[in-house]
A and B are shown apart, each in its own frame.
Chain A
Amino acid sequence: MNLKKTLTILGVLALAGALAYGRVSRENKTIQYLNDHFAPAAVEKTGSSPEAYRVVDGGETQYLIYPGRTTGWGGPMTVAPVMTPELVLKEVLVPEHRETPLFFEYLLANGFFEQFAGKTPHDALCVGKTIDAVSGATISSKAITRAVDSGMSLAAEDVLGVKRPAPGIRWHAGREELLLLALFAAALACTRFKLTKAKMPLLALGFLFLGLMANRPVSVSNIAALFMGHAPFIGDDLFWWLLVPGSLALIALSGKNIYCTRLCPFGALQELITRTGGLRVSVPKRIQAALRAGALGLTWLALMVAFATGNAAHAAIEPFATLFGLKGTTVQWYLVSLALGGSFFIPRFWCRFFCPAGVCFRSVAGFRRAAKKGITIQPHMGKADHETPTD
């Protein structure tokens, strides 16, 4: 067995181990959080739900709590609606979440949680009707609202003996989803019929739509979330489901990396730089191989960190959100400058030698082609020598 094969097997085994560790090491912090929050009152289990608590002070039940798990923007979170014994919502607590601290503070600062006070099981909680989403945090707003509503349903069943009908999934196939499907169709047609002239207009559309308008380029953290089972609820974020598993499925079916070559907004910007004065310096073969190995190692490390910490957002090291959301640390801005600066000299500098999402997509395309031909291709190589995002 050669060294590359051994390393690949070891790398995959380590990823599987990290994924398992990330799942097992998750401890239930809810009861500890509630004890701290309501001290000196006691918090004890109650009701028929496996996770229902009551707060007892002076021998009397003060509050009932029915925590539920949901998936926000950053990953799974536990949401605990606190109700009076008459089932009037007092407050909503979040004992565990994986949102970035800034993002969570944004929800708090915009008074999102205050809207729930005073609601009863008679008010069907739904974003857009009884609860307003915080702009820029719609996915988490919807996820939290859904968890509070399901907690209240459980409480109504336990205390009042009333079974509320389960809320139906609200499929939201809006303008953005339809535009994305149209882009996918155009990219497939462009690849299938070798419409080379359509490539730049398509990339420009990808830049405008996925970059500037939606600010949702595919990141390796999205792919990590998919593997970790932390994908957002499909009714909350249909766009995510079309974009991430959709891109992977199209690549797996066609064997062509249509996302990077035809749709990626960051790739589009680099192509634009190359075409408007780039120097097109050629990279020696041995350096190409070393840089590709580096990108593979980095992708592996990003996935390991995400899997082991149980937080997919930790893998988001690409400069996309910094550039298109204009938010980022100093290091991330250095990264944007270096990646775009590099593309003045080397076409698609970032895509070819660093992008972790690109490594994942190329691996999928490589596996597909290998499966079709019945031969083994190293995942990071694919047919990289003659199929890079510049082709």
Chain B
Amino acid sequence: MKRPQIKEIAILTGALLIHGCLLVSLLTHL
């Protein structure tokens, strides 16, 4: 299996952070 590149890890980390912020924004409405 191909090892993930640093670029891929960085993008996924950024994306996870954004998803986390969006989920917190959504759930705080409830």
Interface of A toward B, CB cutoff 8 Å: 281, 283-284, 287, 290-291, 294, 298, 301-302, 305, 309, 311, 313-315, 317, 329, 331-332, 334-335, 338-339, 341-342, 346, 349-350, 353-354
Q: Are B18 and A331 in contact (CB under 8 A)?
A: no
Q: Are A298 and B14 in contact (CB under 8 A)?
A: no
* Bound-state Cα–Cα, A376 to B11, Å: 31
Output the residue of B8, B21, B26 with the most chain A CB within 10 A: B21
- Bound Cα distance from A346 to B10, whole angstroms: 11
Q: Complex Cα distance A281/B9, Å? A: 13
Tell me if A338 and B14 are in contact (CB < 8 A).
yes
Do A342 and B14 form a contact, CB below 8 Å, given A281-B7, A287-B8? yes
Contacting pair B11 A335 (CB below 8 A)? no
Q: How large is the interface on B (under 10, 10 to 19, 20 to 34, 35 or more residues)?
A: 10 to 19
Interface class of chain A by DSSP: helix
Closest chain B CB from A228 CB (angstroms): 15
Question: Interface majority SS on B: helix, strand, loop or mixed?
Answer: helix
User: Which of A298, A342, A346 makes the CB contact (< 8 A) with B22?
Assistant: A298
User: What's the Cα separation between A245 and B15 when bound, in Å?
Assistant: 30
Q: Among A281, A334, A353, point to the contact of B15 (Cβ < 8 A).
A: A353
Q: How far is the CA of A353 from the CA of B12 in the complex (A)?
A: 11
Query: Quick one: which of A298, A329, A346 contacts B28, CB cutoff 8 A?
Result: A329
Count of A-B contacts with CB under 8 A? 64
Residues in chain B near residue A338, CB distance under 8 A: 14, 17-18, 21
Smallest CB separation, A312 vs chain B (Å): 11
A-B pairs, 4 with minimum CB distance:
A314-B29, A335-B21, A317-B25, A331-B24
Chain A residues whose C-beta falls within 8 Å of the C-beta of B12 in the assembled complex: 287, 290
- Can you list 15 A-B pairs with a CB-CB distance of less than 8 A? A281-B7, A284-B8, A287-B12, A290-B12, A294-B15, A298-B23, A314-B30, A329-B28, A335-B25, A338-B17, A339-B18, A342-B14, A353-B15, A354-B18, A354-B22
